[in-house]
Chains A and B, each alone.
Chain A
Amino acid sequence: MQPLVIMKDVKKQFPGVTALDGISFDIMPGEVHVLLGENGAGKSTLMKILSGVHKPTDGQIIIGGSEFTALTPKDSRSCGISVIYQELSVINELSIQENLFVGNLPVKNIGPMKIVDYKKMREATQMLLGKVGLRKDPETAVEELSISEKQQVEIAKALAADSRILIMDEPTTSLTSSEVSHLFAVIRELKKEGHGIVFISHKLGEIMEIGDRVTVLKDGRYVGTKKISDVTQDDLVTMMVGRQISKNYQHPSADYSDAPVIFEVRNLSRKDGKVKNVSFKLRRGEILGFSGLVGSGRSEMMNSIFGAEPKACGEILIDGKEVRTSAPFYSIKSGLAMVTENRRETGFFHNFSIKKNISVLPFIKQSSFAGITGLVSDKNEDIWADEQKKNLNIKCYSTEQGITELSGGNQQKVILGKWLAADSQIIIFDEPTKGIDVGSKGEIYALMRRLADEGKGILVVSSELPELLAVCDTIAVFREGEIVAVFPHKEATEEKIIAASTAEKGEGNRP
């Protein structure tokens, strides 16, 4: 069989840095070729060369027999290449069918005039939606769809443009596990029809499930291409990071049942019903994880505990004393911290340096009235930033550097650094490693354990079960705003947790 695309010895030089150093890559019809590597390994650059965004410095691209030294975005499209980015590019204000055919609307003639042929568009859309398994009316406005449905629209759009090659850049990041299995079903259908799929992902479990071959990149260099059936997850990790990362971060013989309770939530409820009468305790040294489907109320609960969103009733206790958490300012004063799910939206300040991102928190915490009184101290600022740089191993050449210049893992460390600089006692992590590469994930997990050992209270919300299983001593399962099951680390398995989070009401172990 002839490959759909062959990239031979592709090099890409940016001023001062080699982003790709002689990468070869090909895509066969009917296969899912996984592209794997840490952030900065060169995956996105390679795919941007294929989609015509970047011109390669050297190398060859052969698509369907024709040879190119560089592609323009137009070449790329006409060769049948479509990219489905993490940030979806659907137009929210338009209907599904308009999204599919925007720029290429089917027309019919009425006398001398050409008008849009809505009937034809509708039929074609229905056919394409059938292929991607989206049961929606073609005239539904895209803004009414969920993220996974929008992604299906995006795939249908690629099919509408007659694409043979689909590049999916971390397509499962924002999906729940049932949505992921749905996506995989669609991918399998596309394979049957002979499409070639490039699948970029950090999630090894998914890769093992959906991939046929895998190519690993590291620091812009080609590490190797393997058949998925010939490798294990450990092999892939070794290829990616060049070292084995240990699997678990719990202390094997630890027992926290007699340790003092350092944090407690009693009867927490929200007006919108997303959290219903939740109570739990956290003991010194223990890491408590919260599992559950997206929308089960975990993040909402954390936001209410932290005071970022209102709660209807409930008590928050630190070291046995009730604390005021009616707004983040008061929670911070009480020693609470929250590492939020979206670094860019709710975590850091893009206009600030690393140093200023760290100092903003201790400055506010030390201030008496609403965080606005007092002067900024350059000396303290330097001390805090240097301390956290060392403490968390933040990789930067200077703490004056802009935070947007850092990798996701290092940005996350800066955010954690700001909470530690303010001497926070209880730290809530909401999806702590979202969009972070495997190597940095391990570092973050080790940090969480170290902080717990030092006596900080650690709460973790995560949609990635392996993450919770690797880090948490206790895992609570959330469903429809309630804790429906609690598993000690030793008894917890993916199967049990999934069963508890998807079970009908009334099932599962009550805490």
Chain B
Amino acid sequence: MNANNKIGNSTFAFKTAWQRYGTLGILILLLTILAALKPGYFFQPSTVTQILSQSSVNILIALGEFFAILIAGIDLSVGSVTALSGMVTAKLMVAGIAPLPAVILGILLGAILGFINGILVNGTGLHPFIITLGTQAIFRGITLIISDSSAIFGFPASFTTFMAKRFIYIPVSAFIALVAALVLAFLTNKTKLGRNIYALGGNKESAWYSGINVKLHTLIVFIISGICAGIAGAVLLGRVGSAEPAAATGFETYAIAAAIIGGTSFFGGKGKIFGVVMGGLIIGVINFGMNLLSVSSTLQQVVMGALIIGSVTLDRFVAGNK
């Protein structure tokens, strides 16, 4: 009905502002709360370093997850892809291959794993949830097999020192996440490929009738997700200093949470890279804050879960989407 179209301008303006900057607002609010609770610890340069370093891996994985959710799908295998490509990168480095080619090969492996996800989704016609639930287990299993279920360490010094570098308290990992975010923001906002992905996420049938190759775009989306997880794998190696077979277990939950908190619609077609980065930072700040406030790790899980439900409910309530 017409009646619903003509909402007051102020409501409209608020909605737009909320959609654009709502997550930034939440982030600032959280930081303020932390600063008020623990001013002594909070106002230290190392706080920035810690939050950014903890958030980087999560943001990188979430950036890929964002695309999977954008096409109304999901990628549950990102944690396993992170672990497997990290493990392979580690093995290559330990075997004497220089860090840079080793990392590139690891990222390439991430792309291949994403490609496998995409091919399976397209070929079977099953929902990505089912496919990636399966590949999550398969990729994790392969990680365990090739690592013999034990950690790999002893990377070249050039790798560990580079990854530990800081520029004005900002860790290298944060720069990597930033570059990835910028590249993907360009992809979503400025390229036809990005526009097509949004279209596909909004309506697969309309996309097909508009000449969009649905399967090709689905494949590309899963490859992007795999590449992001592959990069995250390398970054995680640098942070932890070793490749654990159980690394990044459950990280898909944080990635999904970051995307959703950042305003990505679970029904597809809506969301922004900026929001995903904000979502990843919010999760990072909450994790950091809870450690700072000495909240037990078990309780942290409860808080995180409540946060996911709460933020999405709030978003739907504010945005008024039915």
Are A and B genuine complex partners?
A: yes
A interface residue numbers (CB < 8 A to B): 12, 14-17, 19, 40, 44-45, 306, 308, 327-329, 331-333, 338, 340, 345-352, 356, 359-361, 363-365, 367, 370-376, 405, 407, 418
Selected from B195, B220, B265, B268, the residue in CB contact (under 8 A) with A376 is B195
Neighbour of B2 across the interface among A17, A333, A367, CB < 8 A: A17
Q: 4 tightest CB-CB pairs across the interface, nearest first?
A: A14-B3, A351-B269, A351-B202, A329-B211
**A17 and B3: CB pair below 8 A?**
yes
Q: Which of B4, B202, B212 contacts A350 (CB 8 A)?
A: B202
Partner of A349 from the list B5, B193, B206 (CB cut-off 8 Å) is: B206
Please measure, in the bound complex, the distance between the C-alpha atom of A45 and the C-alpha atom of B4, giving whole angstroms. 11
Residues of B within 8 A of A359 (CB): 195
A369 to B195 alpha-carbon distance, docked (Å): 15
For the complex, is B216 an interface residue (Cβ under 8 Å from A)?
A: yes
CA distance A374 to B217 in the complex (A): 15
* B interface secondary structure, majority: helix
The answer to whether A375 touches B190, judged by C-beta atoms less than 8 angstroms apart, is yes
Contacts of B195 in A (CB 8 A): 356, 359-360, 363, 376
B150 at the interface (CB under 8 A from A): no
- A360 to B203 Cα, complex, angstroms: 13
Q: Which residues of B contact A338 (CB under 8 A)?
A: 209
Across-interface contacts of A348 in B (CB, < 8 A): 203, 206
Given known A-B contacts A308-B209, A349-B202, A351-B201, A15 and B192 have beta carbons under 8 A apart: no
* Cβ–Cβ contact A352 & B190, under 8 A: no
Nearest B residue to A370, CB-CB: B213
A19-B1, A407-B2 given; name 10 further pairs at CB < 8 Å.
A15-B7, A306-B209, A327-B213, A329-B213, A346-B209, A349-B199, A349-B202, A349-B203, A349-B206, A365-B211
Q: Is there contact, CB below 8 Å, between B210 and A364?
A: yes
Inter-chain contact B211/A371, CB cutoff 8 Å:
yes
Closest-CB distance, A23 to chain B (whole angstroms): 14
B206 in contact with A19 (CB, 8 Å): no
Cα-based distance from A308 to B209 in the complex (angstroms): 6
Please report which residues of chain B, range 158-208, place their CB below 8 angstroms from some CB of chain A when the two chains form the complex: 189-196, 198-199, 201-203, 205-208
For B5, the chain A residues whose CB sits under 8 A away are 405
Bound: A17/B7 CA distance, A = 9
- With A and B bound together, what is the CA distance between A385 and B217 in angstroms? 25
Contact, CB under 8 Å: A372 / B193: yes
Flag whether B8 is at the interface (Cβ < 8 A): yes
Known: A350-B202, A372-B216. A367 touches B192 (CB 8 A): yes
Known: A351-B198, A363-B192. A346 touches B206 (CB 8 A): yes
Q: Which residues of B contact A (CB under 8 A)?
A: 1-8, 189-196, 198-199, 201-203, 205-213, 216-217, 220, 265, 268-270
A-B contact pairs, 5 of them (CB 8 A): A15-B6, A328-B208, A351-B202, A363-B192, A372-B196
The 8 Å CB contact of A374, one of B192, B208, B216, is: B192
Is chain A's interface secondary structure helix, strand, loop, or mixed overall? Answer: mixed
A340 and B199 CA atoms in complex are apart in Å by 17
Who on chain B is nearest to A347 by CB? B206
Chain A residues lying within 8 Å of B199, measured Cβ to Cβ, are 349, 352, 360
Contact B198 A371 (CB under 8 A): no
Residue of A14, A332, A340, A356 with most chain B CB atoms under a 10 A cut-off: A14
Nearest residue, chain B, Cβ from A348: B206
Chain A residues within an 8 Å CB radius of B208: 308, 328, 346
Q: Given the complex, which residues of A lie within 8 Å of B209, measured CB to CB?
A: 306, 308, 328, 338, 340, 346-347
- B2:A40 contact, CB within 8 angstroms: yes
Question: In the complex, A247→B287 CA distance in Å?
Answer: 69
Q: How far is the CA of A275 from the CA of B205 in the complex (A)?
A: 22
For residue A332, which residue of chain B has the nearest CB?
B211
Contact B216 A418 (CB under 8 A): no
Is B217 within 8 A of A372, CB to CB? yes
Q: How far is the CB of A166 from chain B (nearest CB, A)?
A: 22
A360 / chain B contacts, CB cutoff of 8 Å: 195-196, 199, 210, 212
What is the chain A residue whose CB lies nearest that of B190? A375
Min CB–CB distance B106 → chain A (angstroms): 26
Question: What residues on B are CB-neighbors of A329 within 8 Å?
Answer: 211-213
Whether the pair A40, B8 counts as a contact (CB closer than 8 A) is no
Given contacts A365-B211, A371-B211, contact A346 B269 (CB under 8 A): no
Contact, CB under 8 Å: A352 / B202: yes
CA A351 to CA B5, docked complex, whole Å: 15
Whole-angstrom CA separation of A405 from B199 in the bound complex: 18
Give the residue name and chain of the A residue nearest to B213 (CB): A370
Residues of A within 8 A of B269 (CB): 349-351
A376 contact set on B, CB distance < 8 A: 189-192, 194-195
Question: In the complex, what distance in Å separates the CA atom of A327 from the CA atom of B191?
Answer: 22
How far in angstroms is the closest Cβ of chain A from B255?
22
